[in-house]
């Protein structure tokens, strides 16, 4: 990979959609791996109590003593000590597990509750080029924290008819966070996922998405393929599990688009 002498300050991208199963976690891992492949320093933040991002990197988060929950809720815990160096694609991980589900409730009573993730990441921002935050499938306080910490939002959108419905609410939330908490927040792009080029349905949904959102839709489209569930089982990104697959190529192309935006 090309050498980049200086890293940081990191661009923070929140990978967000309140619908589950649309490819947030898959896109976080594989975009991260594709960025790392071309020399970027990448931190992946698991911000979902399900811990699927951690599992996707081969880590069993339920056995960890400390996770992002401890960094957020306990002032004396240093983020540096909780970030894990994974040997997967040279990316670092701030892991999560079910403990994080308590944070949503506990944070409500705190002053500056929307800015806990910003504060958590601040000490390490100069070490990375990209921090990718894998959000949970809701628009609750954790997701608002991710949006308050982000420069951009990447919205994976499943090529299914009903998936368009939730996007208006998500964009509304992004606009509110921009007005009230984080003026620099932008929509980096909408990523069509689970695309099946053989079905008219997929092509129709894709046309609707482009019609509704125009330029903000990435040119890169992620096809539906069994390769992705396989990589989850392998605990590896597709870029190393099946480096020449069309899925790996698609996430590399997404990485180039993200860098260009």
Q: Which residues bind ligand ADP (CB under 6 A)?
A: 20-26, 52, 137, 193-194, 222, 224-225, 228-229, 232
Q: Which stretch binds Mg ion (CB under 5 A): 21-29, 121-129, 151-159, 222-230?
A: 21-29
25 is a site residue for Mg ion (CB under 5 A):
yes
Residues 45 to 64: which contact Mg ion by CB under 5 A? 52
Residue 204 vs residues 19, 80, 196: alpha-carbon distances, Å: 20, 46, 11
* Least gap, CB of 154 to ligand ADP (angstroms): 12
**How far apart are CB 126 and ligand ADP at their closest, in Å?**
28
Residue 225 contact, options Mg ion, ligand ADP, none, Cβ 5-8 Å cut-off depending on partner type: ligand ADP
Residue 121 contact among ligand ADP, Mg ion, none, beta carbon within 5 to 8 Å by kind: none
Strands of the sheet containing 217-223, edge to edge, are 84-85, 92-94, 42-47, 130-135, 11-15, 152-158, 186-195, 217-223
Our CB check for ligand ADP shows the closer of 18 and 70 to be 18
Residue 231 in contact with Mg ion, rule: CB under 5 A = no
DSSP 16-73: --SSSSSSHHHHHHHHHHHHHHTT--EEEEEESTT-HHHHHTT--GGG-S--HHHHHH
Q: How far is the CB of 153 from ligand ADP (least distance, A)?
A: 14
Cα–Cα distances in Å, from 165 out to 55, 72, 108, 171? 29, 32, 28, 11
Stretch that binds Mg ion, among 24-32, 116-124, 164-172, 215-223 (CB under 5 A): 24-32
Q: Give yes or no for a contact between 207 and 163, defined as CB atoms under 8 angstroms apart.
A: no
């Amino acid at each position: 990979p090309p050498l980049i002498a200086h890293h940081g300050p990191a661009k923070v991208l929140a990978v967000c959609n309140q619908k589950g199963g649309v490819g947030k976690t898959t896109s976080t891992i594989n975009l991260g791996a594709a960025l790392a492949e071309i020399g970027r320093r990448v931190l992946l933040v698991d911000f979902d109590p399900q811990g699927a991002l951690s599992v996707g990197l081969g880590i069993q988060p339920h056995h960890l003593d400390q996770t992002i929950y401890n960094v957020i809720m306990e002032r004396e815990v240093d983020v540096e000590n909780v970030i894990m160096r994974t040997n997967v694609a040279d990316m670092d991980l701030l892991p999560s597990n079910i403990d994080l589900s308590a944070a949503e409730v506990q944070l409500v009573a705190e002053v500056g509750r929307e800015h806990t993730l910003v504060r958590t990441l601040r000490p390490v921002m100069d070490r990375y080029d990209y921090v990718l935050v894998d959000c949970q499938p809701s628009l609750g306080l954790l997701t608002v924290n991710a949006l308050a910490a982000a420069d951009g939002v990447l919205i994976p959108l499943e090529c299914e008819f009903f998936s368009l419905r939730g996007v208006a609410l998500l964009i509304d939330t992004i606009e509110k966070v921009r007005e009230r908490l984080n003026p620099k927040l932008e929509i980096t792009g909408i990523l069509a996922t689970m695309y099946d080029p053989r079905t008219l349905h997929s092509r129709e949904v894709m046309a609707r998405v482009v019609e509704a959102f125009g330029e903000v839709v990435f040119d890169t489209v992620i096809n539906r393929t069994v390769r992705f569930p396989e990589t989850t089982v392998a605990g590896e990104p597709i870029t190393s599990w099946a480096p020449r697959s069309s899925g790996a190529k698609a996430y590399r192309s997404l990485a180039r688009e993200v860098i260009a935006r």
